[in-house]
Amino acid sequence: MQVIPVQIPKEIETNDNLAELIANHTDLQDGDILVIAQKIISKQEGRIIELSTITPSLLAQGISSEYKKNPCIVELILSESKKIIRMQKGIIIVETKSGFICANAGIDESNVKNGFVTLLPTNSDHSAEKISKQILKISGKEITVLISDTFGRPLRMGQTNCAIGVFGINPILDYEGTCDSFGNILRVTAIAIADEICSAAELVMKKTTKSPVAIIRDYEFKKEISSIKPLIRPEEEDLFR
């Protein structure tokens, strides 16, 4: 399996043709998996906000005062969330409108101009599907697309890249009912391959090398229509909420 970084030298702006930019900067092959950083999807889709345009509510002002956060960012966190899960040590963990459990609703001040932030895409599955179909039209290549973002983990230090949008692959490889090397039947082994692919891609994408895209090549998988939903654990099965 190969993990190949794709450099995009220009700063992505709203309504840029991402599929064309990617196709112009690499030679794609049928069966490739494209991992695309959420940040450039958000920029291309106009999910970038100037903080000076936000008027914080009284609730946002109260939270920002207690947790030493910009009240405009807190207001955006509240507007992008279904509910707050935890607020502790200056960190606000929420459930986003898309169902992700993450810090600050995925709102990010990095790699944007001062005074601006990016929000998560409104529908990352749709974003992935759109780029895959545009690349097919441009290059004739059938490409699977994953949208990735960096999330923390409740029981481990450090962050890792995870999938937040999926097109063309089942994000979970379920071994239930198969046998291990000793003939034992596997019952609860379901591997989050979309997250593992995104983590592998981050090793070459990094954060400062202008490589917001990576190609995963020669990974064997069954191409199928799916979404991010199988990766989102239902609240009734969540032992930590």
Strands (DSSP E) contained in 123-178 are 144-153, 156-167, 173-174
Q: Give the domain range for residue 220.
A: 1-45+121-231
Q: Are residues 24 and 137 in the same domain?
A: yes
77 and 151, same domain (yes or no) = no
Burial class (CB in 10 A: 0-12, 13-18, 19+), 127: buried
| Residue 69 CA from chain centroid, whole number | 24
Q: Which residue has the tokens 């090793």?
A: 203
Q: 241 in a domain, yes or no?
A: no
176: confidence class by pLDDT, cuts 50, 70, 90: low
Sheet holding 81-88, edge to edge: 81-88, 91-96, 101-103
User: 159 and 84 in one domain?
Assistant: no
Residues paired with 151 in a beta bridge: 160
Pairing of β 116-118 and β 156-167? unpaired
Provide the pLDDT for residue 182: 64
Residues 33 and 65 in one domain: no
- Continuous segment of H or E residues that includes residue 58: helix 58-67
Domain count, the chain: 2
**Which whole-number Å values give the CA distances from 96 to 24, 70, 101, in the listed order?**
34, 19, 7
> Does pTM top 0.85 for this prediction?
yes
Which CATH number goes with the domain that contains 58?
A: 3.90.1660.10
The residues that bridge with 96 in the sheet, in sequence order, are 81
89-98, 126-135, 172-181 — which one is most confidently predicted on average? 126-135
Does residue 177 sit in the same domain as residue 227? yes
Residue 215: its pLDDT value, please? Answer: 97
- The CATH code of the domain that includes 177 is 3.30.1330.100
Top mean pLDDT of 8-17, 26-35, 200-209 is at: 26-35
| SS3 readout for 163-187 | EEEEECECCCEECCCCECCCCCECC
Question: What's the whole-number mean pLDDT along residues 234-239?
Answer: 86
| Percent of the chain clearing pLDDT 70 (strictly above) | 93
